[in-house]
Amino acid sequence: MVKQHPYKILDSVNYPSDLKNLNIEELKQLSEELREEIISTISKTGGHLGAGLGVAELTVALHYVFNTPKDLLVWDIGHQAYPHKVLTGRKDKLHTIRQPGGISGFLKRSESEYDVFGAGHSSTSISAALGLAIARDINESDHDVIAVIGDGSISAGMAYEAMNNAGHLKKKMVVILNDNKMSIAPAVGAMSQYLCRLMSSKPYLSVRSLAKNFLNHMPSPIENFAKKAKKYAKDFTTGGNFFEEMGFHYVGPVDGHDLDQLVPILENIKEAEGISSPILLHVITKKGKGFGSPEECLEGFHAVSKFDLDTKIQIKSKSIRPTYTKVFAESLTKIAEYDESVVGITAAMPSGTGLNIFAERFPDRMFDVGIAEQHAVTFAAGLALDKVKPFVAIYSTFLQRAFDQVVHDVAIQSIPVRFAIDRAGLVGSDGSTHAGSFDIAYLAMLPNFVVIAPSDELELMRAIQTCYMINDRPSAFRFPRGEAAFAEIPAKIEPFTIGKGRVVREGKRVAVLSLGTRLEEALKAAHEIEKQFNIKITVADARFAKPIDEQLILNLAENHEVLITLEEGAIGGFGSHVMQFLSQEGLLDSNNLKFRAMFLPDRFIDHNNVDVMYEEAGLNASKIIKEVTKLLDMKLKNAA
């Protein structure tokens, strides 16, 4: 375990059962030590920080009151679950979080029985918890089910769909709203503490009876305060009226850092019997609590790089290479300088997608719709119907959630929405939940869709310019996480001819047709093959996953013994389109051509260094060389 000094309480806590004999003061001490341990660890690893620091007390209280893992605790996303990991047998592994071979930065069922439901995307917890509650009742069990969801995650439509269903089914379950950005009804002093205790106790679980019961039990010396108290109680419950109408008993808001309040309220909720509706407990927390960094961070230090433990200043990268995300954002901003119809849209990821740069220059033309990818896509379609040019910037893995809208609201109607797909391919420490493995397959199969995969930052700039000029159909360009290739940038950026690739390196016998940023690995392989075997192979850049460059493919197939496609995507993508074309043209009917497609393996790849992940996936130079050697068989070996 990474620590600066021995901990008074945390050193003796390994599992939730170790909390049961602690008193409130010891739980408070444990919460502070938990926060200190997370700060110490993340200073060395980097990673998600703010959300976990905000829920230290809440996590301690939940594991203290409920009997996990029998009682099922479902966390949303995983950013807020670092304290949960520490308290559930992974304290000594925290220093490996998001590191090669280490524990995941998200919830992972295979990692621990306490990780009830795997979660890397937001807004799934209430749906999963409702399913678990129904299953409990079908199986005639008696455990509790608790979902913990953030105020950002609860903004997504799926969360409301789940709450609507839960309120209708009236099953016993608890939803805890971890509110660290907004306050529906702020908690104020001793009065609100009393009201929250009252609302969570057995006789007063109905918020609608709150004012009446409060006034009926009011001592006579403060009788003159009755009218004001009644009005306050009514105003106080206004924030809960929405949840009440959804069919929930609303309790809160509660100070999420006050264990003197949290523990008895959770105990009241756990002991409540005969409840005919699910319960929503609204807790107020501070994201990044206890970090105390002098650096300004509007996102509450959601994710940080390594930092100095004393100063809390993050250690900046010394690289001078631009990131693909920044290249995209700056290129789009330049285009928007001369075209007022260009707008940017993202779904709760303005800095992640680089659109915060666009927003600084054009605040009125930048739309962050929250965690609502489905809405983002259809909203963009509406904009595009009236001469606006929307660029929807969403991570590949998050765009999956809006697939129906991409098909029904954009593709079928041939509406010119432009998709900027960030985090294409493997993403390193974020692992399988955030890997952009499937967008080539799920977009390139759609009729009349243009899908571009640039090979470096200049090609990305040209792809953006190309999609900007497409006004009769939807288009998309994908780019990876991380640093670009440091290509030379000309003064004028020319768009592509749609559906046309390029030959980068002329050769014979073997052709490698690359889509995306694996082109660099293809060129490395070609150089090594020429060096070792005196065979110069052809390397081509497809540029387009759709429409494919049929003439280029025909030329490569007819003039080479071997044709290999290479892509940073799953099976069913670019290689499948090329193979289907070759089959239709009859070029696979004889022994004149050996064709192979290289793509991501048909499994999910755990988090690691991104180069190691691509080695494991078989999409680097050494694996290309091995494939060429195998296809040319002894001829190549004899040439060595």
Active site residues: 287, 373, 401
Query: One-letter amino acid identity for 629?
Result: T
Beta-bridge partner residues of 19: none
Question: Which residues 6+ apart lie within 8 Å of 159 measured at CB?
Answer: 123, 126, 149, 153
The answer to whether residues 598 and 624 touch, using CB atoms and an 8 Å cutoff, is: yes
Query: Helical H runs in 17-145?
Result: 24-45, 50-54, 56-65, 82-85, 125-138
Whether the Cβ atoms of residue 537 and residue 509 lie closer than 8 Å to each other: yes
Beta bridge partners of 48: 303
**Which residues on adjacent β-strands are paired with residue 608?**
none
Local structure of 312: helix, strand or coil: coil
**Partners of residue 210 on adjacent β-strands:** none
Query: Coil, strand or helix: which one is 633?
Result: coil
CA-atom Rg of the chain in angstroms: 28
The dihedrals phi and psi of 477, each to the nearest 5 degrees, come to -135, 140
CB atoms within 10 A of CB 347: 29
Q: Tokens 């680089």 label which residue?
A: 354
State the Cα–Cα distance between residues 411 and 408, nearest whole angstrom. Answer: 6
What DSSP line would sit under 71-95, residue for residue? SEEEESTTGGGHHHHIIIIIGGGGG
Q: Could you give the 3-state DSSP secondary structure of residue 302?
A: coil
As a whole number of angstroms, the distance between CA 225 and CA 80 comes to 41
CA 158 to chain centre: 15
Compute the Cα dihedral for 260, 263, 268, 271 and give only its sign. negative
| DSSP summary character for residue 149 | E
Alpha-carbon gap, residue 165 to 163, rounded angstroms: 5
Sequence length of the chain is 640
Starting at the earlier edge strand, list the strands of the sheet with 509-515: 502-505, 538-541, 509-515, 560-567, 594-598
Alpha carbon distances (Å) from 352 to 264, 421, 566, 584, 598: 39, 12, 27, 42, 29
Report the b/e string of 367-404 with b at 16+ CB within 10 A: bbbebbbbbbbbbbbebbeeeebbbbbbbbbbbbbbbe
Q: What secondary structure does DSSP assign to 525-564, as a single string?
A: HHHHHHHHH--PPEEEE--EEES--HHHHHHHHHTEEEEE
Bridge partners, 368 (sequence order) = 346
